[in-house]
A and B are shown apart, each in its own frame.
Chain A
Amino acid sequence: MKKILFLVFLIYSILKPSISFSLVEIDITRGNLDPMPISVSPFFSNDDTNDKIKNILNINDLGLEISKVIENNLEKTGLFDAIEREAFLQKPDIAHLKPRFEDWSLIKSQVLITGKVATKIINNKDYINVEFKLWDVLGAKFVDGFSLTTTPRSWRRVGHKISDKVYERLTGESGYFDTRIIYVAEEGPKTQRVKKLALMDQDGFNTKYITLGNELVLTPRFNPADDKIITYMSYFRNDPRVYIVNLQTGDRKVVGDFRGMTFAPRFSPNGQKLIMSLAKDGNSEIWVRDLETNLQEKLTDHPSIDTSPSYSPDGKYITFNSDRSGYQQIYVMRSDGSNVKRISFGKGIYGTPVWSPRGDLIAFTKLHKGRFFIGVMRTDGTGERLLTENFYQEAPSWSPNGRVIIFYRETKTDKKGSGFSAKLWSIDLTGYNERLVKTETDASDPSWSPLLKN
């Protein structure tokens, strides 16, 4: 696999964030029907910079492109409404130095983002330097900003990092834009789907295919402690097993030495352990393997199907689904396998429990009266809330800040059995802001990375 280019260094914060600011903060704990008007002024760059960047990236106006990345990210949260560029009264370069706040409040903007792009040569290599500032239009003051230098090809990540900063300052929660999604790219007829592992930026750009489609691959998942490591299940040589892959080196290894099929893998929060199911002689149990000591241990012991395990963020508990009551239901146990408790008691069957990175909720798939739901419940099973309903959908995965859930949805085929598709969708924890996540091909089994490091 091609080495992923990453940001080189974060040089400095321009100024310390002002301690008090009059900015209207956004309440993201409930559905936001009144998004905050925001202006993203195109990032400014001089002609000389533009020429150089054109040579390197074949992009005419990189500053404008970065501002589009930011605009798109913020708009997709449903919390912000980006004002059209044509309405801007002030030029980008001057706005970045000192905005005329009247001009921005005149077009009803509450927040302004400005920036500047320049090129730099370090050790004979080209770099770009991007400076950004966040302004409070109503309070007429500078709020926050930074400057960073990176390889030109990482320019989209600069936009994501700025988006994260803006989101964090305005909502009080960490962002989720400088992240990736690993998923299964699907093509071909429903009866003979070709499946490949694919990796893309959270906003659908920079798609890379990790496998070629020669063998069936399923359920890729990020290591929450290392965005370069994933686990997934592959039918390589018709021997379905769990693998771990290093996305940077391409190094791939099978996990453990089990007789039977291993599947449904997930990392522990610190990435040192892997939990999965082992199906053998008609029975599926949950196992854990310590990736450092290579010791493995069976955690469940029941003749029913026990699968889809997921750790709590503190690593002390595991949630999973089991049909020991007759139908698929959600259970929680200590991470040593003791103290198993059923937590789902609503109508219908429940599967794919996934613990929120904040620890307070478990997302799940529910089947009731022939319809599929994605929902959340507290870790004791109370407070069940269904977020979305459809013909078929499953496999929720949390954004690293626990505010958004990504999942996949399949369509019902027509009488001739055609019209099948599988797509990724995202929805806010509030149940609002359901959105199609664009992918190059059909897609399923999404897993959201942690915030990228470096």
Chain B
Amino acid sequence: MNLSKIFKNAFLVIVFGLIVTACATKKSVKTTTESSSTTTTTKAAETQKADPIEKLDALMQGDVYIGSDTVGELASGVPDRVFFATNETILTTASRETLRKQAAWLRQNSNVTVVVEGHADERGTREYNLALGERRANAAKDYLMTYGVSSDRIKVLSYGKERPVDSGSNPLSWSKNRRSVTVKAN
């Protein structure tokens, strides 16, 4: 009986290991592509600094916001938000770095609970955006959990497009609004 239990556990460990490896492989592939595109954009931005469109490029990678305007802090040196591409819920390299910082801080401050608020830009129907905001907030939550924050410390709340942080009607404003913000709940 004990033996079978051991086998069972061993089997689970192996399966789990495989899953983790699979995820890790996938992630590392993505990271490579993303970081290579980062390099290109930065280079392009550096060569033509005077051009206002290039300035916009420096604030957006693809259509993901990479600037610091509107970004607050969950704690000192820990940014409170991550940004998304249009209709997307994939976490960028920069987003993952931010979330790892959040997770590290949350591990150190184990009494803190948070609400992850998911938001969308105004260029979608209200109900779809509510769902999209929920998906984005959960993408952030899942990542925090991967880095050791237990799910009962993270509440998810979608605002859809109801609480834009920037009231502009242009691609840059929209990129700031497609976000998930980690807010202290206690």
Q: Return the chain B residue nearest A410 by Cβ.
A: B122
List A contacts of B47 (CB < 8 A).
none
Could you say which of A238, A307, A370, A392 contacts B128, with CB atoms under 8 Å apart?
A307
Residue A54 at the B interface, CB < 8 A? no
Residue A281 at the B interface, CB < 8 A? yes
A321 near B128 (CB under 8 angstroms)?
yes
Residue B80 at the A interface, CB < 8 A? no
Could you say which of A284, A352, A412 contacts B134, with CB atoms under 8 Å apart?
A284
**A190-B167, A216-B162, A413-B169 given; A392·B131 CB < 8 A:** no
Q: Which of B122, B130, B131 has the most chain A CB atoms closer than 10 A to its own CB?
A: B131
A392 near B127 (CB under 8 angstroms)?
no
Q: Which of B127, B157, B163 has the most chain A CB atoms closer than 10 A to its own CB?
A: B127
Residue A367 at the B interface, CB < 8 A? yes
List A contacts of B124 (CB < 8 A).
328, 351, 367
A395 to B128, CA, bound (A): 11
Q: Return the chain B residue nearest A364 by Cβ.
A: B125
A420 near B167 (CB under 8 angstroms)?
yes
A284 to B118, CA, bound (A): 14
A418 to B173, CA, bound (A): 13
A282 near B139 (CB under 8 angstroms)?
yes
List B contacts of A282 (CB < 8 A).
89, 134-135, 138-139, 142
A37 to B45, CA, bound (A): 65
List A contacts of B125 (CB < 8 A).
308, 321, 328, 351-352, 365, 394-395
Residue B168 at the A interface, CB < 8 A? yes
For A263-307 the 0/1 string (1 means CB < 8 A from B) is 110000000000001010111100000000000000000000101
A190 to B173, CA, bound (A): 12
A305 near B123 (CB under 8 angstroms)?
no
B133 to chain A, nearest CB (A): 9
For B128-156 the 0/1 string (1 means CB < 8 A from A) is 10111011001100100000000000000
B127 near A352 (CB under 8 angstroms)?
yes
State the total of A-B contacts with C-beta under 8 angstroms: 102
A428 to chain B, nearest CB (A): 22
Interface size class of B (residues with CB under 8 A): 20 to 34
Which residues, 85 to 106 on B, are CB-close (under 8 Å) to A?
Answer: 87, 89
A328 near B128 (CB under 8 angstroms)?
yes
Which residues, 364 to 419 on A, are CB-close (under 8 Å) to B?
Answer: 365, 367, 370, 391-392, 394-395, 410, 412-413, 415, 417-418
Could you say which of B123, B139, B159, B167 contacts A418, with CB atoms under 8 Å apart?
B167
Size of chain A's interface in residues, with CB distance under 8 A? 45
Residue A203 at the B interface, CB < 8 A? no
Q: Return the chain A residue nearest B170 by Cβ.
A: A415
A143 to B157, CA, bound (A): 59
For B162-186 the 0/1 string (1 means CB < 8 A from A) is 1111111100010000000000000
A189 near B167 (CB under 8 angstroms)?
yes
A395 to chain B, nearest CB (A): 7
Residue B158 at the A interface, CB < 8 A? yes
Could you say which of B122, B131, B138, B169 contacts A277, with CB atoms under 8 Å apart?
B131
List A contacts of B123 (CB < 8 A).
367, 370, 392
For A56-70 the 0/1 string (1 means CB < 8 A from B) is 000000000000000
Residue B126 at the A interface, CB < 8 A? yes
B1 to chain A, nearest CB (A): 35
A217 to B6, CA, bound (A): 54
List B contacts of A394 (CB < 8 A).
125-126
List A contacts of B157 (CB < 8 A).
238, 240, 261
A46 to B50, CA, bound (A): 79
**A238-B157, A282-B139 given; A417·B132 CB < 8 A:** no
What are 5 residue pairs bridging A and B, where the CB atoms are less than 8 Å apart in the complex? A307-B127, A321-B128, A351-B125, A351-B127, A367-B124
Per CB-CB distance, the 10 closest pairs between chain A and chain B, nearest first, are A282-B138, A417-B167, A190-B167, A284-B131, A351-B125, A279-B134, A412-B169, A305-B131, A264-B127, A417-B168
